[in-house]
Structure 1
Amino acid sequence: MPKATPFEEHTERYDEWFEQNESAYESELDAIRRLLPAGYGLEIGVGSARFAEPLGIDVGLDPSGEMLEFARERGIDTVRGVAESLPFDENAFQTALLVTTICFVDDVAETLSEAARVLDSDGTLVMGYIDEDSPVGQIYKEKQANNPFYQEATFVSTDELLDELETAGFTDFEFVQTIFQWPGDLDEPEQVEEGYGDGSFVGIQARRS
């Protein structure tokens, strides 16, 4: 079952995080912006469209009806559904985006397989997430039981995710990273660097093989 209940019950709390942690949010946006090409795009796990709106994503999918209301108010065409069974035709999109979503899906392999299916032959997948092996990832895991959003999350490392992406048929990987401190301690946006292994927030660009 999709882990939508906390997002239905705490929608405003989720959305307010981005205002309360504006520097971290701007850092993550900048990281994703560097990887995301132009094109007709879908965000899988659009949430309240805090990424879809500024990044110019056209369509947002989410299992939470409450989240989709926020997304619609931000001008996104919304569809209710789950990542493992996307209600779209093959080759429907030029880009697919998953930001802070992969730890909430029930099946990572099926999610990535579905993303590949709905992308066109030279489509691009962009992902952003907190790396399980990073300092922030470790703190999130330690505090997991006390956070309504992360109680049922399954964090993943970049190396694990790369294996899953290759199995799903993706290649030509490009990485960026940011968030080198605790997000709540930031007074200004962090720099975005190439690669992964130092920053807690990692962005990956991958193409269909």
Structure 2
Amino acid sequence: MRGAAEHLPFRESSFNTAYLIVTICFVEDPFQTLRESFRVLRGGGRLITCVVPLDSEWGSFYEERKRRGESLFYRNATFYTRKQLKEMLEKAGFKVLRAASVLRYPPSSKPFLEAPKEGEEGSFVCYELSKSSGD
């Protein structure tokens, strides 16, 4: 099955859960992608989306590498601040239930395994969102 995030090839209210993991920064129209996710979720359904926010240490690091042409992976990425992302999510009809994050150390540090922590303080943030039953 072929499709695009902005025009999903599924019927309305098809899924209980949808995931957008490191996706929002790569799609052509992130708001339309979120609206499509909303459309294909059943009432009470959940969207899990994880991002590297622009206003995080790693987001700034990747944006600078992109600007200097050092990152092939992120050259087509558009990073969003936590505020911009939450505004898009809410405008698309979602309610933020909770957030958890990792990467609470700077890019210059040696990587290490860390447990996710409630909140948005880290540089890789996952949001659990709901589509209300009445939608």
Q: With the length of structure 1 as denominator, give the TM-score of the two structures.
A: 0.59
Q: Shift of the alpha carbon at 1:158?
A: 1.4
Q: Which residue of 2 aligns with 1:170?
A: 94
Question: What stretches of structure 1 of length at least 5 have no aligned partner?
Answer: 1-78
The percent of aligned pairs where both chains have the same amino acid is: 39
> What is the aligned-residue RMSD (CA, Å)?
1.5
The structure 1 residue matched to 2:104, chosen from 141, 159, 180, is 180
Q: Shift of the alpha carbon at 1:186?
A: 1.5
1:202 partnered with 2:125? yes
Q: Distance in 1 between matches of 2:19 and 2:109?
A: 25
Q: Distance in 1 between matches of 2:94 and 2:58?
A: 27
Q: Distance in 1 between matches of 2:109 and 2:124?
A: 14
1:93 partnered with 2:15? yes
1:134 partnered with 2:56? yes
1:154 partnered with 2:78? yes
Where do residues 50-129 of structure 1 align in structure 2 (5 Å cutoff)? Answer: 79-129=1-51
Larger RCO (CA within 8 A; separation ≥ 6): 2
Q: Distance in 1 between matches of 2:122 and 2:10?
A: 34
Letter in 2 for 1:167: K
Q: Distance in 2 between matches of 1:207 and 1:114?
A: 14
Number of residues paired by the alignment?
Answer: 129
Q: Distance in 2 between matches of 1:179 and 1:163?
A: 23
Q: With the length of structure 2 as denominator, give the TM-score of the two structures.
A: 0.89
Instruction: Judging by fraction of residues, say which structure has more helix.
Output: 1
8 Å CA contact 2:96–2:127 kept in 1: the answer is no
